[in-house]
Amino acid sequence: MNSPANITDPLVLFMPSGKRGRFPVGTPILDAARTLGVYVESVCGGRATCGRCQIEVQEGNFAKHKIVSSNDHISPKGAKEQRYEKVRGLPEGRRLSCSATVQGDLVIDVPQDTVINAQVVRKAASDRVIERNAAVQMCYVEVDEPDMHKPLGDLDRLKVMLEKDWGWKDLLIAPHLIPQVQGILRKGNWGVTAAIHRDMDSSRPFIIGLFPGLKNEAYGIACDIGSTTIAMHLVSLLSGRIVASSGTSNPQIRFGEDLMSRVSYVMMNPDGREAMTKAVREAVNTLIGKVCEEGGVDRHDIFDCVFVANPIMHHLFLGIDPTELGQAPFALAVSGALQFWAHEIDIDVNRGARLYTLPCIAGHVGADAAGATLSEGPYRQDKMMLLVDVGTNAEIILGNRQRVVAASSPTGPAFEGAEISSGQRAAPGAIERVRIDPLTLEPKYRVIGVEQWSDEEGFEEASWATGVTGICGSAIIEVVAEMYLAGIISEDGVVDGSLAATSPRIIQNGRTFSYLLREGRQGEPRLTVTQNDVRAIQLAKAALYAGVKLLMEKQGVETVDTIRFAGAFGSFIDPKYAMVLGLIPDCDLDEVKAVGNAAGTGALMALLNRNHRREIEKEVGLIEKIETALEPNFQQLFIDAMALPNKVDPFPKLSAAVKLPPRKTVSEDGIAGDTTPRRRSREERAARRNRD
Amino acid sequence: MNSPANITDPLVLFMPSGKRGRFPVGTPILDAARTLGVYVESVCGGRATCGRCQIEVQEGNFAKHKIVSSNDHISPKGAKEQRYEKVRGLPEGRRLSCSATVQGDLVIDVPQDTVINAQVVRKAASDRVIERNAAVQMCYVEVDEPDMHKPLGDLDRLKVMLEKDWGWKDLLIAPHLIPQVQGILRKGNWGVTAAIHRDMDSSRPFIIGLFPGLKNEAYGIACDIGSTTIAMHLVSLLSGRIVASSGTSNPQIRFGEDLMSRVSYVMMNPDGREAMTKAVREAVNTLIGKVCEEGGVDRHDIFDCVFVANPIMHHLFLGIDPTELGQAPFALAVSGALQFWAHEIDIDVNRGARLYTLPCIAGHVGADAAGATLSEGPYRQDKMMLLVDVGTNAEIILGNRQRVVAASSPTGPAFEGAEISSGQRAAPGAIERVRIDPLTLEPKYRVIGVEQWSDEEGFEEASWATGVTGICGSAIIEVVAEMYLAGIISEDGVVDGSLAATSPRIIQNGRTFSYLLREGRQGEPRLTVTQNDVRAIQLAKAALYAGVKLLMEKQGVETVDTIRFAGAFGSFIDPKYAMVLGLIPDCDLDEVKAVGNAAGTGALMALLNRNHRREIEKEVGLIEKIETALEPNFQQLFIDAMALPNKVDPFPKLSAAVKLPPRKTVSEDGIAGDTTPRRRSREERAARRNRD
């Protein structure tokens, strides 16, 4: 549309993409951006009415780029832009790129409203910008009126104009819209906005919504269906802004706390699958209502939905019987990414909205793990990254640009506070932090909902409101690790009964000993950590660590470079204690990061940029899945991992940061014995395996 | 899979396609056919279990092709083929082409069960073979069982096998099947048959059905929804055989006899559109039940449906308000071809069945006209072909390989016997043939349901059963034409009252005269042709002829080479009388053919061969539509066409075959005057127009 640029034309640099090019004076900034492939939204198609194409001039001398950029180098506001500003308002410095033209060298800032702030309370992942390339685009057109000489149908003429103005070829249309086309065109006086979905699995673009006049809003949801919690983001597909984020508990809990009990429910009840599918879909619909209310959005303005879930939730949500996932060979009904009309899954949003589910990696490594993988991107970088999502089942991804391997490990519910005598869910009144004095063996702790530590003034008064009711998952990790650091338990995890002589905190409990964390006031439970509690944690962490080691062996590495903890649990545990326990392999503590609901972040990425869908579909196909149960040396790795931090693996980086106690073994009845560290080398271990 | 052929390899010729090639000894005949692009069905994928790939060896010396073909040149029946023959039976001479291999030169006959016998009672269109290339293919595969080391989902493994064995890439699946995949695979012990639709508007192939084991049946329906009648073929998509054909009346008749009264109904009643949509869909479902019962087919084995209809029926069937079609500019909501899931239109067949509607040509030239155009194919040949479908609205197509033009003309209901004083629908008791003795002016006629002509012995007795109740459409044409040939009416259509003096058949009727066709017995009506009846026929035929002439002018031709009458009406009228009336232009009478429900035949073609869909989609885009009402000289053409056969156009070919009466004009009060033929030349006419 413009004459070809030459060397004397003004230079325009777009930020943050850094793309640059020369354009003749008079070129609209929007055209320049498009020519360079810089994504700038526009709904009205350059009519200066939607206001979506705003940019800002960065003024100054950008020596590095040899550009002196100034507002004098962009055309003054013309009539259309002035009208827009008067009617709708323009923030200071903002311009409409469809109307403003190049007059000289420019540095143009394309505002990116989409910043993912991972939903993590204590350790915020660094903010990240997701480049926008949503599957849905809103396109305003003015359609020719019917003409007896050219008897194309109204819909067909609409398509002609969408091709002419917006370049959409071979458009299809959602069937429910066909009977509405004529009415909408006439209501809009031949000016209509089409919602175009350009990521249909058919690969042809689809008209999924049609509105009279200018429709300047379009939203999407990204949702992670967890066994316990359903989490959702509501996002503007036009600005990328997260409008609301919220969560709700998964109502399937009433059919069974953990996944396997839900599979059993399906197997035992003829209508079980249907009831659970209905329950989860209703919960999702209710949650959509909640985020829409929070964001002041009409749920019928939602046009695209991306879901992640673990395999059993994935199947139940899609109405698939998960029975096969409850038994070897854990066959997924479908592993690939899927697309639906949202209404086919009974999701109540716009009738033309689409629904996309990320691919599952394996029978126990679901679309949620795929979402976390997309979010953290081990395959996008060179460091050997370990990504773990700890829950009842831990999903483990290990890899880098060269190769990614994945496994799941049955950690059981101990990390969530279940199967622990004083365990409870994270809620007000739960102990969440623990420290033990290695000399006195006296503890101090923090309680959710109480500001003070237990040894600080005012704690007792403050804690009356919540009570002190139990130990939550993150504190279980800490208390066992602290017990180890304080010498209360041996590297084999046995509570040293001999300490009962010197500390009232060590109390006999039949043939074993417990650690008394808190006596409990009137009406409050006595909180102890029993030998069984320690064993439960050891079993859980050994399962996780053995899975990680298996993947490290597959990768042929002795150490990992960086660790990501995904999931709610990962957000609350202290990496140091996780490593002291030997839950994760030795690593620089600075390289251990909690990333919150990475699965949900992955869903959000796939919602905002359809290229991320292709990316994760491709990567999931490349990920090598390891079935831990089928690996001959998993057993030995598991046994070695029962010790704290590990029977055979050194933790040099941890040792440098934390003073680990000298090794001592204690027999099951709590009597200390040999204190010589017993660390078998890899060669010794192999030799022994060969003997067996 | 076979080594490349060389010049010494046997030569194999396939009939009726005539495709030929050399293949190494041992090549399966099926492979040879596929290599040459000869379509041979196969469901089992070469396992010799479906029996769909049957062929026959033509024995003999085919000198023209230099082939001596013999059953000795094909391999003897192997174990698999023998087993098939024993279990399922093979007709004499038939072989399974997947098992039989090339051993020498062969002429192979691929049996084509698909022969269209146009549903015409009196003038059968020549039988035609539709080359089969149905949108749906049945594909049997044996799927790998799940493997923990390769955690692809069951569906994903099914897709892998469908690509490996059948070459389907990028397969999608109908959403309702996703929850069923695991059960079906296990029920079939990992052997399943997938129904693949390869003509989705998405262009990616779709799994639309899935069955345990070998599923060796697949059907489709082709349906023409007329204003009065709904006609349907049920066809095997695997053999191409028409299993059943039937029709039913359109229940929308209760909302209005003709199309415009149905549009009015929609405009006047808030639920009118919905009620009519429901009525026509229910009628289609009932008719599906009827053809399925007739053919002994389960309606859930129907996987593909093709529909044609006039624009208003098309819209109502698809749930679109037809109001815009009732008023200028007669805007179609949609003109292009459409695809749906059949269940989206409430059509009760297999849940995964697809539904295709042919494109509409214009606001008054619908998908039925497109079907007729596909069937008769003016664009496929060199002769200038006139295709007319006469009803309340006549659809007119004129063209050849170079160019096709189309129009509609408002003929009104006269041709269907409405608005005629003694008119009635074609039914037992209706006069269907008429002859008038030019000397005595006495008539003879035939009555539907009676074998004898009225002047033959036994007619009176035989006709008591039915009575003689009225004049049907085809007889209206004949009686008016015969009245003209007998000199009873002038070229201007005026009944010559002077004849009342010599014939009791000419009777005065106020200021005009009528022709008494039959006095009527006790309880029977007196059947006359009044001056008004003649006028109604003149108006109708003039509208049709003027439309045809307009198209001839657009094409720049003075004559047409061949004429096709589509529709029920066309099947019953005698071309000679149609031409005497000047309903159609002068043409060799041998070149005037009735083609029955050509629209339905077009639907059948699109059902059996998806290439015909592309063909008609393309052609409809190329057809030039003429809006007769907007053409300045339509009025004059119409006035000229009021005369019999025409005021200005000569009918030399008709004159050679039929003795036309000398011209005489009769004034409106029935008095004969000037008998000089007045034929204005084209030049005179043009000159006069310029004066006006």
pLDDT class of A4 with cuts at 50, 70, 90: low
Q: What is the rounded CA–CA span in Å between residue A418 and residue A409?
A: 17
Chain A residues with CB under 8 Å of B147 CB are 329
Q: Residue B406: which of B224, B631, B627 has the closest Cα?
A: B627
Minimal Cβ distance to A320: which of B150, B179, B334: B179
CA distances from B373 to B147, B359, B555, B612 (A): 54, 11, 17, 11
The reply to whether the predicted model has a pTM over 0.80 is: yes
- Return the CATH superfamily for domain A219-357: Domain of unknown function (DUF4445) (3.30.420.480)
- Which B residues in the span 634-653 are in contact with A, Cβ-Cβ below 8 Å? none
- Which stretches does DSSP call E strand in A319-376? 338-341, 354-357
Phi, psi (deg, nearest 5) at residue B357: -115, 135
Residue A621 forms contact with B (CB below 8 Å): no
Asked whether the beta carbons of A373 and A388 are under 8 A apart, the reply is no
pLDDT of residue A674 exceeding 50: no
> What's the pLDDT at A416?
75
Q: What is the rounded CA–CA span in Å between residue B43 and residue B49?
A: 8
CA distances from B345 to B247, B351, B357 (A): 20, 12, 12
- Residue B142's DSSP bridge partners are B191
Alpha helices per DSSP H over B153-250: 154-166, 181-187
Nearest CA in chain B to A365: B151
Q: What is the rounded CA–CA span in Å between residue A609 and residue A613?
A: 8
B178–A630 CB contact, under 8 Å: no
The domain ranges of chain A are: 11-109, 136-212, 219-357, 372-409+545-640+647-691, 415-535
| DSSP state for residue A4 in the 8-state scheme | P
Say if strands B229-236 and A60-62 run parallel, antiparallel, or are unpaired.
unpaired
Chain B residues with CB under 8 Å of A360 CB are 153
Residue B147 forms contact with A (CB below 8 Å): yes
Asked whether the beta carbons of B60 and B67 are under 8 A apart, the reply is no
Side-chain-side CA neighbours of residue B455 (13 Å): 10
pLDDT class of B56 with cuts at 50, 70, 90: very high
Residue B185 forms contact with A (CB below 8 Å): no
> What's the pLDDT at B108?
94
For A298-316, the pLDDT digits (tens) are 999 999 999 999 999 999 9
> What's the pLDDT at A118?
34
Domains A11-109 and A219-357 share a fold: no
A334–B204 CB contact, under 8 Å: no
> What's the pLDDT at B113?
60
Q: What is the rounded CA–CA span in Å between residue B427 and residue B228?
A: 14
B330–A151 CB contact, under 8 Å: yes
Residue keyed to tokens 């209206």 = B476
Which among A154, A155, A182, A312 is the top mutation candidate for probing chain B, defined by the most B β-carbons within 10 Å of its own β-carbon? A182
Instruction: Say whether B656 sits in a helix, a strand or coil.
Output: helix
Say if strands B219-225 and B302-309 run parallel, antiparallel, or are unpaired.
parallel
Q: What mean pLDDT comes out for the span B343-362? A: 97
B203–A201 CB contact, under 8 Å: no
Q: What is the rounded CA–CA span in Å between residue B669 and residue A296?
A: 80
A153–B336 CB contact, under 8 Å: yes
Structure tokens at B544: 């049709």
Q: What is the rounded CA–CA span in Å between residue B164 and residue A113?
A: 46
Name residue B303's amino acid. F
- Which stretches does DSSP call E strand in A410-524? 430-436, 443-447, 470-471, 506-509, 512-518
A630–B319 CB contact, under 8 Å: no
For B524-554, the pLDDT digits (tens) are 999 999 999 999 999 999 999 999 999 999 9
Residue B621 forms contact with A (CB below 8 Å): no
Q: What is the rounded CA–CA span in Å between residue B211 and residue B157?
A: 16
Q: What is the rounded CA–CA span in Å between residue B552 and residue B631?
A: 13
A331–B153 CB contact, under 8 Å: yes
CATH architecture of residue range(s) A136-212: Roll (3.10)
Chain A residues with CB under 8 Å of B146 CB are 324, 329-331
Which among B147, B162, B182, B634 is the top mutation candidate for probing chain A, defined by the most A β-carbons within 10 Å of its own β-carbon? B182
| DSSP state for residue A358 in the 8-state scheme | P
Q: What is the rounded CA–CA span in Å between residue B183 and residue B178?
A: 10
Chain B residues with CB under 8 Å of A147 CB are 329
- Which B residues in the span 189-228 are in contact with A, Cβ-Cβ below 8 Å? 200-204
Q: How many cross-chain Cβ pairs, A to B, lie less than 8 Å apart?
A: 159
For chain A, what percent of residues have pLDDT higher than 90?
A: 74
Q: What is the rounded CA–CA span in Å between residue B652 and residue A232?
A: 81
Residue keyed to tokens 């067949």 = B349
pLDDT class of B123 with cuts at 50, 70, 90: very low
| DSSP state for residue A270 in the 8-state scheme | T
Q: What is the rounded CA–CA span in Å between residue B66 and residue B352?
A: 48
Cβ-based neighbour number of residue A501 at 10 Å: 7
For B163-202, the pLDDT digits (tens) are 999 999 999 999 999 999 999 999 999 999 999 999 887 7
Q: What mean pLDDT comes out for the span B261-280? A: 92
- Residue A232's DSSP bridge partners are A223, A246
For A568-598, the pLDDT digits (tens) are 777 788 899 999 999 999 999 999 998 888 9
Which residues does A566 contact at the CB level (< 8 Å), separation at least 6? Answer: A372, A375, A376, A387, A388, A389, A594, A595, A596, A597, A598, A599
A182–B151 CB contact, under 8 Å: no
Residue B267 forms contact with A (CB below 8 Å): no
Structure tokens at B603: 């639907």
Chain A residues with CB under 8 Å of B183 CB are 321
* CATH code, B11-109: 3.10.20.30
Phi, psi (deg, nearest 5) at residue A608: -85, -20
**Least Cα separation, residue A609 to chain B (angstroms):** 22
- Which stretches does DSSP call E strand in B105-163? 106-109, 115-116, 128-129, 136-142
Q: What is the rounded CA–CA span in Å between residue A34 and residue A139?
A: 15
Which among B202, B624, B631 is the top mutation candidate for probing chain A, defined by the most A β-carbons within 10 Å of its own β-carbon? B202
Structure tokens at A166: 């917006």
How far is residue B94 CA from its own chain's centroid? Answer: 33
Structure tokens at A50: 């939607």
Q: What is the rounded CA–CA span in Å between residue B431 and residue B413?
A: 18
| Residue of higher predicted confidence among B125 and B130 | B130
> What's the pLDDT at B4?
62
Q: Residue B360: which of A334, A374, A467, A155 has the closest Cα?
A: A155
Which helix (H) or strand (E) segment is B654 a member of? helix B652-657
Structure tokens at A545: 């660590």
Residue B175 forms contact with A (CB below 8 Å): yes
**Least Cα separation, residue A26 to chain B (angstroms):** 39
Residue B667 region, left (φ>0) first, then alpha (ψ -120 to 50), else beta? beta
A344–B175 CB contact, under 8 Å: yes
Chain B residues with CB under 8 Å of A338 CB are 178
For chain B, what percent of residues have pLDDT higher than 70?
A: 92
pLDDT of residue A294 exceeding 70: yes
